[in-house]
Each structure stands twice: as structure tokens, then as C-alpha cells.
Structure 1
């Protein structure tokens, strides 16, 4: 983390992906289309805050269990409605999927978001009994990895952090931190790679093979920090298309989320 590294560039994805600016509109259109085709319960509250809501996507018949997907956006962008289509793979396999929103920076700190996701999981479990599986993308990958840390209540099962951020200390050197408002102590406390996992934790760190070097490092770091972590570097995918496999019930990524922990 020396001054030789441009940390703003290290975390910049869109500028390095052809057509990167077009992805959000495509995600939103695909999500809206999917909501019209599937059983849903939208805006289920898990708290009193305006964004403390989750959408629940349901299979036909009794769900085999609950998958939870936590969206990314650097903790400062997007909400649950952009990602509905990513529930298809799990729902087609007979699982329910909950997608929570959470309060974004600068209105909330990362510690507040972490606590919100824990509450969202508990609330979703009350709606769908059975095993729980977690997945999150980018900032959402950070948040699901935090659920497995020893300082958190035991609310979750195995997790897949997709292109997750696990060491937050470099963000202290970014312009983005003007919004995130991380301090050194906060970056330490909220970094899964710097925390102790709960005994028996099962984490998969999944990252596209064509992602920015810092995201490759962030995923590889978890294999070193948490013994037993599975690292998957996924082919030619980049930060914006690596999650598309969640739409496919037969994809390796969907399988990684829903499979039983060893």
C-alpha cells in the first residue's frame, strides 16, 4: 500500500470493461422482466429503515432452503431491484432466494450495513425454513464474508464471495473513501481477511479471471487468511459479467452456492 500504487485506478472496474457503462441499464431491464415471471414477495421488511427491505423469490412448491444474494456497488450504489434476475438459477433448482437492500454510504457506515445484512438473513430465515446459503458480489461479497466472522452472530451457512472485497485498508487511500468514511480502525474491524472466521466456516472466493489485479488479490488473500477457503478464478469473466452465471441453474457458480458444505 505504498504511494507507488494508484488505488483509485486499482478499484475502478467500468473504465476497464468494454461497454462497462451499459451494464446497469441491462441489469435493471433484465431484473424487471424476471420479476414478471416468478413468484415473489417484494419489500418484506427486516427493520424500520427505508432500505431495510428484501425481495423474496419463490419456487413452485416448498423451497429446499434459502439462498441470500447481497448486491454490490461499493456500498454506495444500487439496491435489490437491479439484480432480481440473478435469483433464477437458485429458484429453478427449487430454492427460495432473498435479496436485501441496505442503507448506503454516506448515510451508513460499513458496520451498520454489516448489522443490517445479519438482520435481513434472520428475517428471511423466518419466512423460509431450512438450510441457508449466502452469496454476494463485490461489496456484497464483503458483507457475506463478514457474516462468517467470529464476531458476528451465527446467522448463516456457507457463503460464496463473488469478486469480493476482503481487505479494506487500501480503500483508505481512495477518493471513494470521502463517501465511505472509513477510518483505519474501521477498515481493520470490517475486513474479513483480518478477522477470525467462526469454527466450521465454509467460504468460496470466486473471481473472474479477467478482473482487475486488486480483485484477484482480494480473493486470493482469503485462501491465505482463512484456511480451507476455496478459491475459484473463473475463466475470461470480468467484474460485471462474472455474476451472469447465477441465472443458470446448471452453472458451476450456482452449484458452488447451493452445494452442501464439506
Structure 2
């Protein structure tokens, strides 16, 4: 029998023409990388570890970067890689920031706690490539992962001290509800790991945090945003008229409210 809990987290089932989004993202990302490669503004495939997926792409602005933005992709920790999201670097890059996008290993090959450590290593290595302040953002599972970077000791002290703002977009802030989903057969969460990996269980960070979530998302994603807002006392921006797949479109626009919040807070 179908699991009645699954529908709450089934974004694609409730977004018109949802199947068209990944191929459009992929095509836009490929064209964007080609354009920046010609302009010598792309450093692709930088290694941050020894695994085949422990690589990241670095998108460079004109002139000396004002700092580093790290974008971590989503996909419920078991889908996608960095290559689909490249064009979402443009808003920050056009504002003078370097943007890095890492891939990471996927469940069930690894556990979520392993992915968290990989992202921390990616941020650490990227910080060696670009000086200045660091701003972290990520979407969905990526929103969870950038929030986890604020756990004490997750990043080296010198790197953590440079983090100026974290902006989780549509994040998963409490992983315990995922224990009851069919998806957990892939994620392999147990109750202890679900709690340990939940941002809401962390001490409120001292770094500024602003959650962003689409107003037309599944109700549970609005819940996750509110849960993190309550647990951390952080900002929570509900973007009107946006669902789980198009809420990140604003990252492409250097003049958008989302990019302004990410860079100027």
C-alpha cells in the first residue's frame, strides 16, 4: 500500500509540468558554463577530496572577488550533482562574488552525516581559493546542509569565523519526520542520526541566518521553515507565488531581493 506520509514531501506531484524543470536546468547550466569558460571565469572540477564526486566548480566575477558564496544543491540527499545548477551562480557572481558549487556523494552509498562532512570539507577547501567573507546558501536538502555548517566544530575555526550569513532555501530542518517516509529506505536514517542531523536540535548560531521558502510550497516545507525560525530566532522570508522548484529562480538575478538578502545582510 502507498505510504500516506509520502505525499507531504512529494514536491513534483504538486507542481505543474514538474518533469520539465530538471532538463531545463541542465540545459541552462551547460550554456552558462560554456559562456563563462570562454570568458575564463570558470574553474571546473576542483577537487576537495579523493572521491569521484568530491569536486566543485568555481565561478569567478570580473576583478577581485568581494568574497565567496557557496551554493549546495538539493535532491533529498540522493539525486543530482553540481552540473544542473551552475546558472544559479549568476546573481551573486554579477555582484562581484566568487561562487562555488560542490557535488557530494549520494545516499544510499553514504549516510547523510557523511554528506554533511563532505560539504564542510568543500567549504574549507573553497575558502582557501577565495579570500574574504563567506556566505552559504543551499536549496532543500542543500538548505539543510548549509544550516548544518553552523554546528560547533563543523568548520575549522578560521573558516567559521569568515562566515557572514547563511541563507537556507526551503530547508529540511527536522529530519525525524523523514523516518516514516518510503524514501528512508534510501536515506537509511535511524532516530539517533535524524536527531543529530537536524538543524533545529543545534544551538542557535551567532551567525546571521535568513530562511527563504516559497509561499506556494507544500505545507510541510513552510513548517520546516517556521521550525527553524522558532528554534534559532532567525529571519524567515516567505516568497509569494513561488513553489519548491521556482523559488530559486531569483538567484539568477543580481537585483533580486533574494540575492540582495544573501549578500547584503
Please report the TM-score for the alignment, with normalisation by the length of structure 2: 0.94
Counterpart position of 1:111: 113
Counterpart position of 2:200: 193
For 1:108 and 1:98, locate their aligned partners in 2 and report how far apart those are by CA, in whole Å. Answer: 22
Q: 1:196-236 CA distances to partner (integer Å, 9 max, x unpaired)?
A: 133x2211110000000000000011111012x00000010
Counterpart position of 1:72: 74
* Preserved CA contact (<8 Å) 1:204 1:231: yes
* Preserved CA contact (<8 Å) 1:68 1:134: yes
1:242 aligns with 2:247: yes
1:16 aligns with 2:21: no
How many residues align? The count is 254
Q: Secondary structure at the residue paired with 2:70?
A: strand
What is the RMSD computed on CA atoms of the aligned residues?
Answer: 1.1
- Can you give the 5+ residue segments of structure 2 that lack an aligned partner in the other structure? none
Counterpart position of 1:166: 173
- Match 1:184 to one of 166, 180, 191: 191
- Write the mapping of 1:247-258 to structure 2, written as runs, cut at 5 A: 247-258=252-263
1:202 aligns with 2:208: yes
1:216 aligns with 2:222: yes
- Match 2:60 to one of 44, 58, 61: 58
Counterpart position of 1:33: 31
Q: Secondary structure at the residue paired with 1:142?
A: helix
Q: 1:133-174 CA distances to partner (integer Å, 9 max, x unpaired)?
A: 000000000000001123523444211000000000000000
Counterpart position of 1:125: 127
- Write the mapping of 1:78-117 to structure 2, written as runs, cut at 5 A: 78-117=80-119
* Preserved CA contact (<8 Å) 1:10 1:214: yes
Structure 1 segments (4+ residues) deviating >4 Å: none
* Preserved CA contact (<8 Å) 2:204 2:231: no
For 1:45 and 1:223, locate their aligned partners in 2 and report how far apart those are by CA, in whole Å. Answer: 34
* Preserved CA contact (<8 Å) 1:150 1:197: no
For 1:6 and 1:148, locate their aligned partners in 2 and report how far apart those are by CA, in whole Å. Answer: 33
Please report the TM-score for the alignment, with normalisation by the length of structure 1: 0.95
